[in-house]
Amino acid sequence: MKISVVILNYNVRFFLELCLQSVQASLKGISSEIIVIDNNSSDDSCAMVKSLFPEVKLIENKENIGFSKGNNLAIGLAKGAYLCILNPDTVVAEDAFQKILKFSDTKTNLGIVGCRFMDGSGEFLPECKRNIPKISSALGKLLGNGKSYYATAVDQNSIAEVPVLTGAFMLMRRELFTALNGFDEDFFMYGEDIDLCYRALKMNRNNYYYGASTLLHFKGESSPKNKIYYKRFYKAMQLFHSKHFESNFLMRWAVNTATKMVPYFMSSAPTPLANRKEIAFLNPHSSEATINLKNASIIKSLEMLKPGVSCDLVLDANVESFKAILNQISTTSLPLISFKIWPKNSHYCVGSDASIQRGEVILFDEFLS
């Protein structure tokens, strides 16, 4: 078997369904398996997987055991020569795995491979390529200056070696993951991807950023950027430094200071578009979803959007390929417009207006007049 895709899920049932649809499309023609490990979700994620994706291997945990332990458990059952750790709030293009696997096959000293990320508004996410975090760069990130934290010297569309990738998409050979003894389970959430990448570098492996393939990461759905997030992040940085570098007073001071300063330096959330009055379906496969929907319309081109009116633009996966949808989001820049994706054979659409906000699920019957 060529590859095992492992998806750790926790209470993101609708995003998981969309993710699985895109992953299945991307794995077409590749000897593969998909493993979903659920960390005791309270929604109907597991029932959905069993009903709609019976071929997917499902592991149902009875408690939330965290990112590291959960992925280690699932990967212990994986059969693929390659592993891909993937977040459930992501969408991949149909050619993503073919391209990245083809690239990876050419590397003899392969470490971990990541790809280009964008958020639900089409904005590039710089955390998909990072440097080894230092005290100064971690504090700079908190203060809004991520130049040294992120690998800004590497162009977002290039293919190059970088020190650190992100756990939302990490591809590697299974033999490397085994040699590294998997994720360090001392990291419950955040920092485990940095630790894994750094240990791969210490084994003289080369980590790569593959900017020729773009992944959509709604991001805010699984990890909203709030006070709790920042405290966990800086505690993870403290653990990383104490593990790999000599612990010192400056590092402890930096972490304690950072967690206390979080409320003062958190970026304010953008003005939500929750009060939007329009929802526009771009060339949908069916008009049934829009019949009797309040303030809904069908448009054949972007020129039909009403100027100056906030609107959800719904892109239909029943009609368009995931690659086409990602390209539409990436290249369309219109004020007051947010994007939503209509998964195949569903009655809802999902999206996220910005990376620091939670993702949004719109059930079509909510718009019934």
Parallel/antiparallel/unpaired status of strands 169-173 and 337-342: unpaired
Per-domain residue ranges of the chain: 3-221, 278-367
Distance CA 337, CA 334 (A): 6
Of 37, 39, 48, 40, the residue nearest 13 (C-alpha): 48
Specify whether the CB–CB gap between 132 and 163 falls below 8 A: yes
Dihedrals phi, psi of 320, to nearest 5 degrees? -95, 150
In angstroms, the CA 325 to CA 360 distance is 17
- What gap in Å lies between CA 53 and CA 43, rounded to an integer? 17
Largest Cα–Cα separation, the chain: 64
* Backbone angle region of 29, left / alpha / beta, with phi > 0 → left and psi within -120 to 50 → alpha: left
Residue 142 neighbours by CB under 8 Å, 6+ apart: 230, 234, 258, 261, 262, 265
The class that CATH gives domain 3-221 is: alpha beta
DSSP secondary structure, 199-232, as one string: HHHHTT-EEEEEEEEEEEE--TTTS--SHHHHHH
Ordered alpha helix ranges (H), the chain: 13-26, 45-52, 67-75, 96-105, 135-142, 174-179, 192-202, 227-244, 249-265, 322-331
CA distance 241 to 195: 10
Give yes or no for a contact between 22 and 53, defined as CB atoms under 8 angstroms apart: no
Tell me how far apart the alpha carbons of residues 202 and 219 are, in angstroms, rounded to a whole number: 29
CA distances from 126 to 115, 217, 341 (A): 11, 12, 23
173: left (phi over 0), alpha (psi -120 to 50) or beta: beta
Inter-residue contact 117 to 156 (CB < 8 Å): no
pLDDT tens track, the chain, 369 positions: 999 999 999 999 999 999 999 999 999 999 999 999 999 999 999 999 999 999 999 999 999 998 999 999 999 999 999 999 999 999 999 999 999 999 999 999 999 999 999 999 999 999 999 998 766 555 555 555 556 789 999 999 999 999 999 999 999 999 999 999 999 887 656 678 998 999 999 999 999 999 999 999 996 555 555 555 555 665 666 666 666 666 556 666 666 665 566 555 544 444 444 455 688 999 998 877 666 567 788 999 999 998 888 899 999 999 999 999 999 999 998 888 999 999 999 999 999 877 666 788 988 875 543
Specify whether the CB–CB gap between 198 and 111 falls below 8 A: no
Q: Which residues contact 132 (CB under 8 A, 6 or more apart)?
A: 163, 164, 194, 198
